[in-house]
A and B are shown apart, each in its own frame.
Chain A
């Protein structure tokens, strides 16, 4: 079964850091680009960041540049999101998502359940 399982969410103070992880299984991880999408509960979807199959190409939402870093470890079939200088507006459910292509230019075909990040003092 193709599966993505996120971890690492929690409550953090403004200005703090968190590292999200995503464990992939059931498919050849390094055949696919990967991405993070976040959703404030009850609201819409916001694309956060994407990475190509070998990590050679990355992209970020404009509002996040310099604060978030996406990375992957193909040997561990894992995706990561390092989040620094967190703000209240970063509070959301963060989904790990597979892109149906080796680059980042593809539809998002497999979604994890998400890990909740709450930024609050």
Chain B
């Protein structure tokens, strides 16, 4: 099974500053046949279901602000929020959909400093 590990577990960033969350998979989630990384990022606010932000490691979901970006390949990935807004306070999860059982990271709680 693929284990997803996020760092840090929690993060406090000032408004307008950059926030960076890392995600590592225990094995590669890159398919060379289609040149895609099977990695997604989700945002979950209190009392709400998760919301898809990024898929294929770096493709922004429709309607997601462009301050959110994803990067990385193989086993190492990063979610970056370029200029933190108050509404970005949430828990963020990475997830691999390369192979079943699909798995999520433990989550990173993002707060305002």
Q: Which residues of A contact B (CB under 8 A)?
A: 35, 44-47, 50, 59-62, 95, 99-100, 104-109, 111-114
Choose among B61, B97, B103 the residue that contacts A106 (Cβ–Cβ < 8 A): B97
Interface size class of B (residues with CB under 8 A): 20 to 34
Q: Cβ of B55: which chain A residues have Cβ within 8 Å of it? A: 100, 106-107, 109
Contact across chains for A47 and B40 when beta carbons are under 8 A apart = no
Interface residues of B in 61-109 (CB under 8 A from A): 61, 93, 95, 97-98, 100-107
Closest to B49 in A: A111
Closest to A35 in B: B102
Contact across chains for B50 and A104 when beta carbons are under 8 A apart = no
Which of A45, A46, A113 has the most chain B CB atoms closer than 10 A to its own CB?
A: A45
Q: Cβ of B50: which chain A residues have Cβ within 8 Å of it? A: 45, 95, 108, 111
Which of A59, A104, A107 has the most chain B CB atoms closer than 10 A to its own CB?
A: A107
Contact (A47, B104) CB under 8 Å given A105-B38, A106-B97, A107-B40: yes
Give the shortest distance, in Å, between B108 (CB) and chain A (any CB). Answer: 11
Choose among A45, A60, A114 the residue that contacts B93 (Cβ–Cβ < 8 A): A45
Closest to A104 in B: B100
Q: Which residues of B contact A (CB under 8 A)?
A: 1, 38, 40, 42, 49-52, 55-56, 61, 93, 95, 97-98, 100-107
Q: Cβ of B95: which chain A residues have Cβ within 8 Å of it? A: 45, 47, 107-108
Contact across chains for A50 and B51 when beta carbons are under 8 A apart = no
* Alpha-carbon distance between A35 and B50 when the two chains are bound, in angstroms: 14
Contact across chains for A109 and B101 when beta carbons are under 8 A apart = no
Contact across chains for A61 and B104 when beta carbons are under 8 A apart = no
Closest to A63 in B: B101
